[in-house]
Chain A
């Protein structure tokens, strides 16, 4: 097997995550799809580290994980705050700024 297959897998997962972000309405599911995209990029980073024979790709993937954790914390806090005031977790409902 060619190690490049990991990159194809990462691409497929990234694209599935992107479709989820565009199509789903539930804010929590949208967040999960963003996590899926970040994980796919991590897989690409780890594969590149292996392909190039150095550890830097893994370190970058580690940093991506930390930033993703911070992003989840803030995002879920925003979702909880919106749910408290609007009683809804759908991304269609907060449309007060719409003309």
Chain B
């Protein structure tokens, strides 16, 4: 690795080997982001692509950038993506129905056009002899020193502008996700009064009591053998994932009545 950074051969055999192993992985993972039906799978393929790109950065002498890529992208950004995915609902798989006519075909044609143009431009361009960043590193006394020198001298105004962008983004995220409380918060005294006046002053039955399972998605069985809907969380009932198990042989006629109710 050190030789790779300081010396200036175009590419060593090892680098070529690593490239031809990693580049297909990156491309396949990128395609899988596109075709995965579930957003969580897309996120995992995205993480794969980002780690591969971090290795490619390091292979080209961007050690600092590779580490930042792992820390910022696979660490922070992917966690943010997964967090929002869990918030929005993991089961929300994408519909692949085209709403605009021939949009997919047009998109692929456009992509082929852009890609062909870029590849043609790259293949016709003349590039320098790939000296590598070793000389620039040595001039500053080290790789991180070279980057620090560039950021804090030549690019210091960009650096300041970017820090303003980051602070604005942090404030903006807070402003966007903050919810103003419209009604005053209920205190415990009001809550208890409300509860005593409601139809159900006692605690709700806990799930799974007398049933065959004691998981939260199994409603408790009342003494007459019917399942008590009040014992499962509202969210599970809304999702329709409540498991209905009845004790066999106990109060079957009552259970039938309960179904009709």
Q: Does B118 contact A (CB under 8 A)?
A: yes
Q: Are B72 and A9 in contact (CB under 8 A)?
A: no
Residues of chain A with a CB closer than 8 A to B166's CB: 66, 69-70
Quick one: CB contact mask for B153-177 with A, threshold 8 Å, 1 for yes? 0110011001001101110110011
Q: Does B107 contact A (CB under 8 A)?
A: yes
Shortest beta-carbon distance, A45 to chain B, in Å?
9
Residues of chain A with a CB closer than 8 A to B8's CB: 53
Which of A49, A50, A79: most chain B Cβ within 10 A? Answer: A50
> Given A16-B31, A58-B133, A79-B88, A7 and B122 touching (CB < 8 A)?
yes
Which of B88, B135, B146, B166: most chain A Cβ within 10 A? Answer: B88
Q: Does B104 contact A (CB under 8 A)?
A: yes
Secondary structure of the B contact surface, majority rule:
helix
Residues of chain A with a CB closer than 8 A to B108's CB: 19, 23
Q: Does B203 contact A (CB under 8 A)?
A: no
Residues of chain B with a CB closer than 8 A to A9's CB: 19, 23, 26-27, 56
Complex: A97 Cα to B82 Cα, angstroms: 30
- With both beta carbons as reference points, the residue of chain B lying nearest to A61 in the complex is identified as B65
Q: Which residues of chain B in 67-91 are interfacial with respect to chain A, using CB atoms and an 8 Å cutoff?
A: 68-69, 72-73, 76-77, 80-81, 84-85, 87-89
Complex: A8 Cα to B162 Cα, angstroms: 29
Q: Are B15 and A1 in contact (CB under 8 A)?
A: yes
Interface size bracket, A side: 35 or more
Q: Does A22 contact B (CB under 8 A)?
A: yes
Q: Are A3 and B10 in contact (CB under 8 A)?
A: yes
Q: Are B133 and A92 in contact (CB under 8 A)?
A: no
Q: Are A28 and B39 in contact (CB under 8 A)?
A: yes
Quick one: CB contact mask for B1-36 with A, threshold 8 Å, 1 for yes? 000000010110001100110010011001101101
Q: Are B133 and A19 in contact (CB under 8 A)?
A: no
Q: Are A74 and B119 in contact (CB under 8 A)?
A: no
Q: Does B64 contact A (CB under 8 A)?
A: yes
Among B124-132, B214-222, B239-247, B251-259, which stretch is in contact with chain A?
B124-132
Residues of chain A with a CB closer than 8 A to B211's CB: none
Q: Are A39 and B147 in contact (CB under 8 A)?
A: no
Residues of chain A with a CB closer than 8 A to B122's CB: 4, 7-8, 11
Q: Are A20 and B115 in contact (CB under 8 A)?
A: no
Complex: A69 Cα to B172 Cα, angstroms: 13
> Given A11-B118, A28-B81, A43-B53, A89 and B162 touching (CB < 8 A)?
no
Q: Which residues of chain B in 84-136 are interfacial with respect to chain A, using CB atoms and an 8 Å cutoff?
A: 84-85, 87-89, 92, 94-96, 99, 103-104, 106-108, 110-112, 114-115, 118-119, 122-123, 127-128, 130-133, 135-136
Interface of B with A (CB < 8 Å)?
Answer: 8, 10-11, 15-16, 19-20, 23, 26-27, 30-31, 33-34, 36, 39, 42-43, 46, 49-50, 53, 56-57, 60-62, 64-65, 68-69, 72-73, 76-77, 80-81, 84-85, 87-89, 92, 94-96, 99, 103-104, 106-108, 110-112, 114-115, 118-119, 122-123, 127-128, 130-133, 135-137, 140, 146-147, 150-151, 154-155, 158-159, 162, 165-166, 168-170, 172-173, 176-177
Interface of A with B (CB < 8 Å)?
Answer: 1-9, 11-20, 22-26, 28-29, 31-33, 35-36, 39, 42-43, 46-47, 49-56, 58-59, 61-63, 65-74, 76-81, 83, 89-90, 92
